[in-house]
Amino acid sequence: MPHSRRQPSRPRWKTALMGCGIGCGSALLLGGLVLLVLLHKVTAVPPEVARMREAPPPASSGAPAQPAPAPYETQRQEIEQAARSSSPTPVTLRLTEAQMNDLIAQNAGRNAEVQDVRVAFTGGDLLLTGTTNWRGRQVYITAVGRPQAVSGQPRFQLSSVRLGTLAMPASGVAKLQAEIDRGMADWSAENPYDVTDVSIYDGQLVVQGTTRPR
């Protein structure tokens, strides 16, 4: 019987080259899909920002049970007057979301890394939203943290930070925390009192302190 002829085998180098081509192509495709997903997450509008856009501040935080506080400038003048006393005097500063957002807008720096910052009260935490640049794109940044008093100064301790809907790396969180700490330190240096307690109560940020007699 005639023997059937075997098909010539493909050279190993060709097989290896084709395998590499298929593998590299799949890796590039997978990498591209991952980048698209990350880009979508980073440029997405966070749900918190969407809610803040849709609802006015009172609806998002609940109507304050306490009477609306006096304007910030009025409270500041009263605290400065108390600081003229020869003995330490307890003082309290109360701010609503609207007052805080007005103060932030008035003191916003043009070269700050985060622009269009707004705050909202969520239980005992503060929610900060703003925009920043990421690889030439404007993206939303969302930070959640709890206000507290540390060594006579107010502190905003971050618990989570996101770019779009993607969690920010620890290095980015640390950089943002350092920027917030510097801003808090500058604010404290201009005030004639040491902060003893900071809390959110009945829809207001309540800052309690003791004046430093001059």
Q: What average pLDDT does the segment 175-186 reach?
A: 85
Residue 138 DSSP SS3: strand
The amino acid that residue 107 corresponds to is: N
Is the pLDDT at 26 greater than 80? The verdict is no
> CA nearest 61: which of 92, 101, 91?
101
Beta strand pairing status for 204-211 and 115-122? unpaired
Is the pLDDT at 197 greater than 60? The verdict is yes
How far apart are the C-alpha atoms of 199 and 183, rounded to whole Å? 18
Q: What pLDDT score does 95 carry?
A: 94
In DSSP terms, 207 is beta-bridged to: 93, 198
Instruction: Retrieve residue 157's tokens.
Output: 């301790």
* pLDDT more than 90, % of the chain: 23
Q: What pLDDT score does 133 carry?
A: 78
Q: What pLDDT score does 59 carry?
A: 41
Please report which confidence band the pLDDT of residue 71 belongs to, taking 50, 70 and 90 as the band edges: very high
* pLDDT more than 70, % of the chain: 68
Please report which confidence band the pLDDT of residue 205 belongs to, taking 50, 70 and 90 as the band edges: very high
Find out whether 131 and 138 touch, Cβ atoms under 8 Å: yes
Instruction: Retrieve residue 64's tokens.
Output: 């304050």
> Which of 33-42, 58-67, 148-157 is the least confident region?
33-42
CA angle 165, 178, 208 (to 5 degrees): 100
Judge if pTM exceeds 0.75. no
Q: What pLDDT score does 103 carry?
A: 86
How far apart are the C-alpha atoms of 164 and 130, rounded to whole Å? 10
Q: Is the dihedral of CA 17, 18, 21, 24 positive or negative?
A: negative
First to last CA, the chain: 116
